[in-house]
A and B are shown apart, each in its own frame.
Chain A
Amino acid sequence: MSDHKTMTLTLIVWRQKNASDPGKFETYTAKNITEHHSFLEMLDCVNEDLIHAGKEPIVFDHDCREGICGMCSQVINGAPHGGQDRTTVCQLHMRKFKDGDTIYIEPWRARAFPIIKDLIVDRAALDTIIQAGGYTSCHTGGVPDGNAILIPKPIAEEATDAAECIGCGACVAGCPNGAAMLFTGAKVSQLALLPQGRAEAVARVKNMTNAMIECGFGNCSNHYECMAACPKGVNVKFIARMNREFIKAQFA
């Protein structure tokens, strides 16, 4: 780090002991932060200070820290993942902030995502949606030849775009209705586009959208906030495709 110019920031962080605790904001000061720190490294520094002072550190989800695992989940100044285009919190860097800035840090807020502690929420509801149909039922046996099922390049690309979802839940956190339509739409579309997934497409779209509501997610009202929040740029065209699949499924 050649640049030794440092920043001092005021953090207003949501602290909540457990799901039943009402929770409240606490104010902290982040000192000696350089523009090269990632947002999570900045929080690491604050936590070290808290631990040294004998206080409980801020609890947050993180894993790969390279923007591909979908674990990090913080709403920064009202925007899931901090609002930088196609960026997860771990890939957000402090050069986006200025010395003296005040930063609000909150957990994902949705009925379907109960808070476990501080900034960690329980995203098992997304797993429940996947369990309802986000898979293909395959018979095991010999591995088929790679080119046994031909898939046109544009369709393979489209399916891959849908498969970019890392399941972080930013779409739900961003949605004013707490809906999981982009998450569900991406998985329904990815599988419906491919011949292997086509076979179960009718049951899948019905079961996954039912699971969505049973888990307590809201309904989509086409704000498109999910697309803006998605760190992988998953497009709302996959919601439109899921709607199409749903209509088709009613006549199947």
Chain B
Amino acid sequence: MQLTSSSIGRKILMAITGQSMVLFAVIHLLGNSSIFGWLNGGINAYAEHLHSLPLPFIIGFRLVMLAMVCVHIWFGIQLTIENRGGRPQQYAVKATQKTTFASENMIWTGALLGLFLVYHLLHFTFQTISPETAALKNLVPLHNEMVPNVLGMVVAGFKNFLVSFIYAGAMIALFLHLSHGIQSFFQTMGWSCDKTQPILVKFGTLVALVLFLGYVTIPLTIFAGILKG
């Protein structure tokens, strides 16, 4: 298998790991949207449901996601360095016709998302950014048992302007990254032709936009005081 050495092989690795993370982002948003109350018990019930999954499954899932992130970052950097070398001298006049801001800056939007991911995990998973509101330390009653107060932690976090700003900014990077990345997946896997390719470009941007709006609504509604703890 020429997966890790060839040009197209590495492109396929980028596509599959990237698309897996997109799928994760979709499911993550669906789960997080329980904060708006469609699930009995809200996001606390959702979080409790996730935590009650078998431990080997949780650990396995996290390891797989970690592997996806690592492979995507490793080959992302490697390919970017190679590609920068592909044209050592730039043209005096830049007149690209198809290249977009998003497609040109994948490495930078990706780097921002990588930094955000670390911050996000420290904030809500390991809960070390603001320990006083950590959900694991503040238990609240739910259906006759005590569960971590995820809602309280999220609301307390997003009431802070800087925190909301970081999250909103990261979601702009996510939108840009995915507006190129999603359609790119289909092209790389060879699942497109001349008729579907322009549609896939629009579809990718639409999915990226939906994810952006979905995610950004949470900090915005909390910061604006619409969604209360």
Contacting residues, chain B, for A104 (C-beta < 8 A): 91-93
Asked if residues B91 and A78 are in contact (CB atoms below 8 Å), the reply is: yes
A118 at interface, CB cutoff 8 A = no
Contacting residues, chain A, for B98 (C-beta < 8 A): 223-225, 227-228
Asked if residues A106 and B7 are in contact (CB atoms below 8 Å), the reply is: no
Q: Number of B residues whose C-beta is below 8 Å from A?
A: 46
Complex CA–CA separation, A123 to B197 (angstroms) = 30
B190 at interface, CB cutoff 8 A = yes
1/0 contact string of B72-87 vs chain A (CB within 8 Å): 0000000100111111
Complex CA–CA separation, A218 to B87 (angstroms) = 8
Contacting residues, chain B, for A237 (C-beta < 8 A): 192-194, 197
Residue of A nearest to B195 (CB): A237
Complex CA–CA separation, A241 to B188 (angstroms) = 9
B183 at interface, CB cutoff 8 A = yes
Asked if residues B8 and A209 are in contact (CB atoms below 8 Å), the reply is: yes
Interface of A is mostly: mixed
Asked if residues B190 and A243 are in contact (CB atoms below 8 Å), the reply is: yes
Asked if residues A83 and B10 are in contact (CB atoms below 8 Å), the reply is: no
Complex CA–CA separation, A206 to B191 (angstroms) = 19
Within 8 A of A (CB), among B190-206: 190-194, 197
Contacting residues, chain B, for A42 (C-beta < 8 A): none
Asked if residues A176 and B87 are in contact (CB atoms below 8 Å), the reply is: yes
Asked if residues A210 and B86 are in contact (CB atoms below 8 Å), the reply is: no
Asked if residues A176 and B187 are in contact (CB atoms below 8 Å), the reply is: no
Asked if residues B197 and A77 are in contact (CB atoms below 8 Å), the reply is: no
Asked if residues A179 and B83 are in contact (CB atoms below 8 Å), the reply is: yes
A36 at interface, CB cutoff 8 A = no
Residue of B nearest to A243 (CB): B190
- Known contacts A109-B90, A228-B98; A241 and B190 CB within 8 A of each other: yes
Contacting residues, chain B, for A240 (C-beta < 8 A): 186-187, 190-193, 197
Complex CA–CA separation, A179 to B9 (angstroms) = 15
Complex CA–CA separation, A225 to B183 (angstroms) = 15
Complex CA–CA separation, A239 to B180 (angstroms) = 17
Contacting residues, chain B, for A219 (C-beta < 8 A): 7, 10-11, 79, 82-83, 86
The 7 closest A-B pairs by CB, nearest first: A218-B86, A78-B95, A178-B86, A244-B190, A78-B93, A177-B83, A228-B97
Residue positions of A touching B, CB distance < 8 A: 12, 25, 75, 77-79, 83, 104, 106, 109-112, 174-179, 181, 206, 209-210, 212-213, 216-225, 227-229, 235-237, 239-247, 250
Would you give 16 A-B contacts (Cβ < 8 Å), ordered by A?
A12-B92, A75-B91, A83-B95, A109-B87, A109-B91, A111-B88, A175-B86, A209-B6, A223-B104, A224-B98, A235-B194, A236-B197, A241-B190, A243-B12, A243-B187, A245-B190
